[in-house]
Structure 1
Amino acid sequence: MDQLDLARWQFGITTVYHYIFVPLTIGLSALTATLETAYVRTGKEHYKRAAKFWGKLFLINFAIGVATGLVQEFQFGMAWSDYSRYVGDVFGAPLAIEALLAFFLESTFLGLWIFGWDRLPRWVHAACMWIVAVGTMLSAYFILAANSWMQHPVGYRINPESGRAELTDFVAVLTNSTLLSAFPHVLFACFMTGAALMIGVSAWHLSRRRHVEVMRPSFKLASWVMLVAAVGVVLSGDMQARIMTEQQPMKMAAAEALYDTVAPASFSIFTVGSLDGGDEILSIRVPRLLSFMATGTWDGEVEGINDVQREERAQYGEGDYRPIVPVTYWSFRLMIGFGLLAAVVAAGLLALTGPPGRWIRKLWPRRLRPSDGETVPRWVWRAAVWAIPLPILGNSFGWIFTEMGRQPWVVYGMLRTADGVSPSVPASTVSLSLTVFTLLYAVLGVIEFRLLRTYAKAGPEAPAPARDPDDDGPDDGDDGHRPDAGENADESAERQLAFAY
C-alpha cells in the first residue's frame, strides 16, 4: 500500500476505535445523572448505590476515551498536513471550542462529582453530573460541526492569495443543515449504546439474583431508554437520508448500488451479483422504500451512480467520483441491521420482564419479573448480555458508511482525499505509526475490557448498615460515621480512577 492507503487505514482504525468510547461516555453520563436525580428526589439509598456503580463504569470509559481522542486529533497534523493547511482555519475552529469549552467543562465538574460525595449538597452533586452529561453532548456537537463541514462545506471563502479556505460565517458552520440532522441521530445512538451496557450488566446480576434492588430499576430504565432512543434513531435517520440525498447523491446511490436512475426505487435488503454494476443474481427487495428514504415520497426518482458520475465529471473535472460500492452498500445495511436488532431486543426484554399483558401471560405459565431470576428463562438474560455490542457495531458501521461513502472527497466537492495527505511523510513512517497505534490500541482495549468486566461483576457497594435509633453513637468524640469496607473500597477505587485520569 502507498502512503495514501496507509494514512487512510490509520485514520479509519483510530476513528472507529475511538468511537467505541464516545457513545458509551455520552449515554452513561446521562443515565447516571438520571439515577442520581432519582436519589435526590426520593432519598432511596439504592438509587445512590446505582449512581455510584454506573458512574464508576463511566469513569473507566471516559479515561480511555480521552487517551484515544488525543491521538485522533494529532493525526491531522501528522498524516494529513495538506488538509490541515488548506482548511485548518475553518475545521479547527469548532475543534478548538470543543477542547476549550466542552472538554474542560466535563473535566472540572467530573472532578467535583468524584470527590464531592457526602461533601456537596445532594442537588449540587447531582447537578455536577448533569453538567458533565451536557458537556459530553456539547463536545459531540462541536466535533460533528467539524465533520459536517467536511460533508457539506458552508460559511467559508477561498483566499485567492494564499489559496486556503478561510472562515467567514461561524454561525453558518454551527447551523449547517447536515449538522442539525446528524446531531440528534448520533445522540439517540449514544443513548442506545449506554443503555445496552446498563441492560447487559443488570441482566447478568439479575440472573444470579444479586443486587436486585439496584439492578432492577437500572434494567427497567435502560430498557425504556434504549427503546425510545431506537425510535429517535429511525426518525432522525430518515431526515438525515433525505439531506444526504440532496447534498451527496452519489452516497445514496452507492448505498443501494443503484447504477441507473429509477422512479420509484426499491430498497434491497440483500443482493448478490449487482454491486459492481453487473447482472443481478439474487435480491430481496422492499418496493418503493428507497424512494421514500431519499425523497419522502413513495414514487420519487433516485439518481443512479452512472448519472451522478457524469454530473460530477462535468462539474469537477475528469476523475472517478464513485466510492467503493460494496463497502458503502454493506456498511449501510449493517448499520441499520444492528440498530434494529438492538431495538427488537429492548422491546422483547420489556415485554418479557415488565407488565406483560394478557397475550404474554398466555405464552408463559407465570408472570416474568426481572427481580426473580428463577422465573425468567436463562436465554432472556443471555440475550440481554449479548446485546451489549449491538449499538456499538451499528455506530461503527454508520461511521464507515459516512466516511467511505464520501470518497474520493475529504471535503465534499472541495478537496480530494489524495490531495490532503502529508507529502513529506514517507509510507514507511505511516506504516510504523499505524503498527504502533494498532498494537497500543489493542492493549488499551484489553485494559478497558478487563476493568469494565471486573467492576461490573463486582457490582455496587454494599448498602449502609441501618443505625439503631436507641444507639446514641460512640463516646470517643467522633461523628458517629463508620463507613463499611464496601464504602471505603468504592471511594478508594474512584480516587484511583481519578488519579489515573
Structure 2
Amino acid sequence: MDVITLSRIQFGVTTALHFLFVPLTLGLIWFIAIFQTLYYRTGEERYRRMAKFWGKLFLVNFGMGIVTGLVQEFQFGMNWSEYSRFVGDIFGALLAIETMVAFFLESVFIGIWIFGEGRVSKRVHLFSIWMAAIGSLASSIWILLASGWMHNPVGYIINPVTGNAQLVDIFALLTNPKGWLLFQHAFSAGLATASIFMLGISSWYILRKKELEVFKPSFVAGAIVGVIGSFLLLMTGHTQGQEMRIYQPMKLASIEALWNTEQPASFSLLTIGDLTGKQEVWSIRVPYLTSFLACNNFDCEIQGVNQLQAEYEARYGPNDYVPLMVVTYWSFRIMAGLEVIMLFASAFALFVVLRNWSPKLIKWLKWMPISFPCPSSPA
C-alpha cells in the first residue's frame, strides 16, 4: 500500500472512532438539560439523580470525543496537508470558529455544571447545562457547514496569486443547503443514538427492579424521543439520497450496484458481482424503485458506474473513479437495516409504556441492551 492508501485508512479509522461519541453526546445533553429543568421546577430528587446519572455517562463520552477529535484535527494537517493548505481559508476558518466559539462555550459551562452544584445558585446551575447544550448544537452546525462545503463548495473563487480557495460570499457558505441537510441528519442521529443508549441501560435496571424511580422515567423519555429521532433519521437520510443523485452520482450508483444507466432504475435487493467488482453476476431487483426513491417519480434516469467512469475519465483524465463497490453496497444496506431496527426498538419501547408496563412485554426488554451497536452505523 502507498502513503495515500495508508493515510486514508488511518483517517477513516480515526473519523469512525470519533463519530461513535459525537452523536451520543449531541443527543444525550438535551435529555440531561430537560431532567435538570424538571428538578429545578419540581424539586423532586429523582430528576436530580437522573440528570446526574446520565450526566456522568455524557462526560465520559464527551471526553473521548474531544480526544479523538484532536487526533482528527492533527491528521487534517499531516495526512492531507496540501488539501488543508488549498481550502484552509474556508474550511480552516469554520473549524476555528467552532473551536473558539461553540466548543469553548460548551466546555466552560459543562465545567460549571459539573463542579457548580452547591457553589452557584440553582438557576445558574440550570443555566449552565442549557448553555452547554446550545454550545454542542452550535459546534455541530459549524462542523457540518464545513463538511457541507466539501460536498458542495459554494461562495468561493480560486485566488490567482496563491492558487488557493478564497471565500467571497459568506452568505452562500452559511446557507449551503448541503451543510444544513447534514446537520439535520446528524442531529436526528444524535437523538436516536442517545435514546437507544438510554433504553438499553434503563432496560437493564428495570429488569432487575433497581432504582425504578430513576430508570422508568428515563425509559419513557428514551422511547418517545427514540421514535421521533429514528423517524427523522430515516427521512433526512432519504433526502440525502435524493441529493446524492445531483452531487455524488457515482456514490448513488455504487450503493445500488448499478453498473449501467437505467431509466427507470431498479432497486437492488441482493446483487452479486464478479471477483473484479466490475460487473454483475446475479441480482434480485425491484423495478422502478430507485427512480422513485431518488426523484419521487417512476421515470427518473439514474446514471450507471460504467457511464460515469467514462465521463470522469474524459473530464479529469485517466484514473479509476469507481469505489470499492462491495463495501459501499453492503455498508449502505447494513446502515439502512440498523436504522429500521432502531425505529422498531423505540416503537416497541413506547408500546411497553402505553400498555402500562405489561409483564408479558417487559420480559422482551432483555434484548434492548443488545441494540447498542445499532446507532454506530446510521450515525
How far is the alpha carbon of 1:204 from its aligned partner?
0.6
Distance 2:244 2:32 in 1: 34
In 2, Cα distance between equivalents of 1:292 and 1:389: 30
Q: Is the 8 A contact 2:257 2:268 kept in 1?
A: no
Q: Give structure 2 stretches of 5+ with no counterpart.
A: none
Task: Give the TM-score normalised by structure 2.
Answer: 0.95
Please list, as runs of the form range in 1=range in 2, the aligned pairs for 1:359-370 lying within 5 A after superposition.
368-369=357-358
d(CA) in 2 for partners of 1:40 and 1:279? 61
How far apart are 1:375 and its partner, in Å?
A: 5.3
> Quick check: 1:257–1:277 contact (8 Å CA) kept in 2?
no
Instruction: State the shift of 1:376 in Å.
Output: 4.5
Aligned residue number for residue 43 of structure 1: 43
TM-score, normalised with respect to structure 1: 0.72
Shift of 1:326: 1.4
Letter in 2 for 1:336: A
1:276 Cα deviation after fit: 2.6
**Which residue in the other structure is 1:263 paired with?**
263
Relative to 1, partners in 2 of residues 1:286 and 1:138: Cα closer, same or farther, differing over 3 Å?
farther
1:186 aligns with 2:186: yes
Q: Which runs of 4+ in 1 moved over 6 A?
A: none
Aligned partner letter, 1:393: S
Partner Cα distance (2:26, 2:175) in 1:
22
> In 1, distance between residues paired with 2:23 and 2:280?
40
1:97 — aligned with what?
Answer: 97
Matches within 5 A, 1:111-126: 111-126=111-126
Question: Residue type of the partner of 2:15?
Answer: T
Structure with max Cα Rg: 1
Once the two structures are TM-superposed, the CA of residue 174 in structure 1 deviates from its matched residue by 2.0
CA distance in 2, matches of 1:277, 1:312: 16
Q: Which AA in structure 2 matches 1:18?
A: H
Cα deviation per residue 1:220-249 (whole Å; 9 max; x = unaligned)? 101111110011111111221111211111
* Counterpart amino acid of residue 322 in structure 2: R
After TM superposition, the structure 1 stretch with the greater mean CA deviation from structure 2, 83-92 or 220-229, is: 83-92
1:41 and 1:287 map into 2 onto residues whose CA distance is: 56
Does 2:161 match 1:177? Answer: no
Q: Offset at 1:98?
A: 0.5
User: May I ask how many residue pairs the two structures share in their alignment?
Assistant: 378
1:147 is the counterpart of 2:131: no
In the alignment, what sits opposite 2:378?
394
Structure 1 residue 269: Cα displacement: 2.8
C-alpha displacement of 1:76: 1.4
Of stretches 259-268 and 247-256 in structure 1, the one that deviates more from structure 2 is: 259-268
Please give the per-residue CA displacement for 1:436-455, whole angstroms capped at 9, x wherever unaligned: xxxxxxxxxxxxxxxxxxxx
Once the 2 structures are TM-superposed, how far is the Cα of residue 215 of structure 1 from its aligned partner? 0.3
2:371 maps to a residue whose letter is: A
Give SS of 1:368's match. Answer: coil
In the alignment, what sits opposite 1:276? Answer: 277
Task: Say whether residues 1:243 and 2:254 are aligned partners.
Answer: no
* Secondary structure of the structure 1 residue equivalent to 2:269: strand
Identity of aligned residues (%): 45
**Aligned partners of 1:267 and 1:37: how far apart in 2?**
47
- Unaligned regions of 5+ residues in structure 1, if any? 357-366, 396-501
What is the rounded CA distance, in whole Å, between the counterparts of 1:174 and 1:124 in structure 2? Answer: 32
Question: Counterpart of 2:298 in 1: which secondary structure?
Answer: coil
| Contact kept? 1:345, 1:383, Cα under 8 Å | no
Q: Relative contact order, CA 8 A, sep 6+: which one is greater? A: 1
From the superposition, tell whether residues 44 and 80 of structure 1 become closer, same or farther in structure 2 (CA, over 3 Å): same
Task: Name the structure with the higher helix share.
Answer: 2
Partners of 1:269 and 1:333 within 8 A in 2: no
CA distance in structure 1 between the aligned counterparts of 2:300 and 2:206, rounded to whole angstroms:
49
CA deviations 1:232-283 (Å, max 9, x no partner) are 1111112211112111111111111111111222222322236934343242
The structural deviation recorded for 1:110 is: 0.5
Q: 1:298 to 1:314 in 2, by over 3 A?
A: same
| 1:280-301 C-alpha deviation (Å, 9 max, x unpaired) | 3242x34322112211223322
Distance in 1, Cα, partners of 2:3 & 2:273: 32
**Is the partner of 1:163 in helix, strand or coil?**
coil
Q: Which residue of 1 aligns with 2:287?
A: 287
SS at match of 1:223: helix
Task: Tell whether 2:67 aligns with 1:78.
Answer: no
Moved more, 201-210 or 384-393: 384-393
Cα deviation for residue 91 of structure 1 reads 1.2
